[in-house]
Amino acid sequence: MPLLLFYFVAIWMLQSPGLEGDESRHLRYAQNLLKGYYTTADNPRLEQGPGYIFAIVPFLFLQLPLLYAKLLNGVFVFLGVIWFYLALRDFQISHRRALLASYFMGLYIPLIKWSSTLYSEALAFCLICGLIYYFNRFLRTEQHHWGNYLAAAFMLGFLTLTKVIFGHVIIVALLLSGAGYVFFSHRKKFLRSALVLLGGYLVFSPFLLYSYALTGKPFYSGTGGGEIFYFRAAPYANEYGSWFSPADIYINESEEEPSRRIHGDLSDLIKNHKPFFDEIKDLSYVERDSAFMATAIENIANHPKSYLKNTFVNFGRLLFNYPFSYRYERLSTYGYLIPNMFIIVLLVLAILPGLYAWRRLPFELMALFLFFLIYMGGVTALLGIGRYFILLVPVFLLFIAYVFSKIVEIKISKNLSN
């Protein structure tokens, strides 16, 4: 309970009085749901899944201050830490080490920072920790395991509704599970893993059906991916593949707020991209998404070295939230750099003995680790930013804790003076 109180106090102190970034978008979708629809049928704009939107709708319906919706993020994080601790104990990690790892994760600075906003990271973090706990129990328990299955499938499905990129991760993981079932042992566990993946995709499928009804495109989860990929494939020397809002392109014309507070001179950005934005601005959101995607693919084909450069930078941006195109240097970078540096160093030190003694690693741990490596590859290929690394922290810390508890034996001599 002291940890939950800490979250409430931190959120109250860190929250911004106004709306920032994607907060206004989340509120717009929540208000749409109160009116009986998610997006307009004549020109659908599917920028994200509805998972987090479902969580904040009741606060708008009851006309409560937005602070209450932000405080709910503290509850999400607290539940996630509890599930993470229970998962560590199920992996036979001692109470002391499990508690230490749980507090390290619960006090992870980027997680606390983003929990003070109307962003979906806290909910996604909670669902990931729940998925880790119930997935492990479902695969390990021989009897009375269907409750664990339903919980694991729901956690995965609602996670995908919250972060639609996991829909693609599920498809890749299903293919790998099928290959594992055919070519490797542990066939029963591969089958159970596939059942969880299918169950999660089933929870996600109503949103895909809704999207299909509006756009006519099967398995279409959003209209924002093309725009992100367009900037990701930008072939300009002074750009690093980071995304920009159309408000940044049309600074003096857009009704949206440009990101002047964090960006410097955007004249080169406007020169590089405004002509193309002018060409497609009258298209529908779906048509615009296709145009962005086609141009991105063309840029990659014509400028592969630029895309490789952006990929390298994108990976660094995922780990350390740096660098961004045309952005001022900010002290907040240290909030990602310092804790992530410890996690990455410990992870590298754990991977080497883990690979050497891979037969001693539980199937459940390897399956979870691989699943989130697929996610890591996906965000690296599309859009890597520091807050997306939050979703990798639970499984990375789980792997580190297991290796240094069960595989690597550390002995400290009591006779150091001798």
Nearest to 395 by CA among 128, 112, 108: 128
Predicted local distance difference test score (pLDDT) of residue 261: 53
State the alpha helices, DSSP H only, in 163-266: 165-183, 187-215, 225-232, 246-249
Query: Which of the four pLDDT bands, split at 50, 70 and 90, describes residue 186?
Result: confident
Is 127 inside any structural domain? yes
Predicted local distance difference test score (pLDDT) of residue 101: 95
For CA atoms 184, 187, 189, 193, the dihedral sign is positive
Take residue 148 and report the two structure tokens written for it. Answer: 């664990």
- How is residue 265 annotated by DSSP? -
Is 160 inside any structural domain? yes
Is 342 inside any structural domain? yes
How many domains does one find in the chain?
1
Question: Are 320 and 333 in contact, with CB atoms under 8 Å apart?
Answer: yes
Question: ω into residue 323 within 30 of 0, thus cis?
Answer: yes
CA dihedral 225, 235, 376, 185 (to 10 degrees): 100
pLDDT tens digits, one per residue of 48-58 = 999 999 999 99
Q: How far apart are CA 262 and CA 328, in angstroms?
A: 6
Q: How far apart are CA 167 and CA 208, in angstroms?
A: 10
Question: Are 192 and 139 in contact, with CB atoms under 8 Å apart?
Answer: yes
Nearest to 393 by CA among 83, 108, 79, 10: 108
pLDDT tens digits, one per residue of 244-281 = 988 889 875 544 554 545 666 788 999 999 999 999 99
Average pLDDT over residues 293-309: 95
Take residue 63 and report the two structure tokens written for it. Answer: 């006309």
Is 302 inside any structural domain? no
Question: Are 317 and 385 in contact, with CB atoms under 8 Å apart?
Answer: yes
Predicted local distance difference test score (pLDDT) of residue 19: 86
Is 156 inside any structural domain? yes
Take residue 269 and report the two structure tokens written for it. Answer: 């950005």
Query: Which of the four pLDDT bands, split at 50, 70 and 90, describes residue 143?
Result: low
Predicted local distance difference test score (pLDDT) of residue 417: 42
Predicted local distance difference test score (pLDDT) of residue 416: 41
Average pLDDT over residues 25-43: 95
Q: Which residue is associated with the tokens 């991209």?
A: 273
Is 45 inside any structural domain? yes
Predicted local distance difference test score (pLDDT) of residue 413: 47
For CA atoms 220, 226, 232, 235, the dihedral sign is positive
What's the angle, vertex CA 110, arms to CA 329 and CA 114, rounded to 5?
Answer: 100
Query: Which of the four pLDDT bands, split at 50, 70 and 90, describes residue 333?
Result: confident
- Res. 243: pLDDT tops 80: yes
Query: Which of the four pLDDT bands, split at 50, 70 and 90, describes residue 302?
Result: very high
| Helix, strand, or coil (residue 84) | helix
CB under 8 A, 24+ apart: contacts of 270-279: 272/234, 272/236, 272/239, 273/234, 273/244, 273/249, 274/249, 274/250, 277/246, 277/249, 277/250
Predicted local distance difference test score (pLDDT) of residue 409: 65
Predicted local distance difference test score (pLDDT) of residue 251: 78
Predicted local distance difference test score (pLDDT) of residue 145: 78
**What angle, rounded to 10 degrees, do the helices at 393-402 and 363-381 form?**
140
- Res. 414: pLDDT tops 60: no
Residue at 284: amino acid letter? S
Strand partners, 327: 263
Residue at 113: amino acid letter? K
- Res. 412: pLDDT tops 50: no
Nearest to 135 by CA among 186, 92, 75, 84: 84
Predicted local distance difference test score (pLDDT) of residue 418: 43
Take residue 355 and report the two structure tokens written for it. Answer: 């690979």
Task: Give the range with max mean pLDDT: 70-84, 137-151, 242-256.
Answer: 70-84
Average pLDDT over residues 195-202: 97
What is the overall mean pLDDT for the chain?
Answer: 91
Is 347 inside any structural domain? yes
Strand partners, 263: 327
Domain limits at 46?
2-223+321-407
Burial class (CB in 10 A: 0-12, 13-18, 19+), 329: exposed
Predicted local distance difference test score (pLDDT) of residue 252: 59
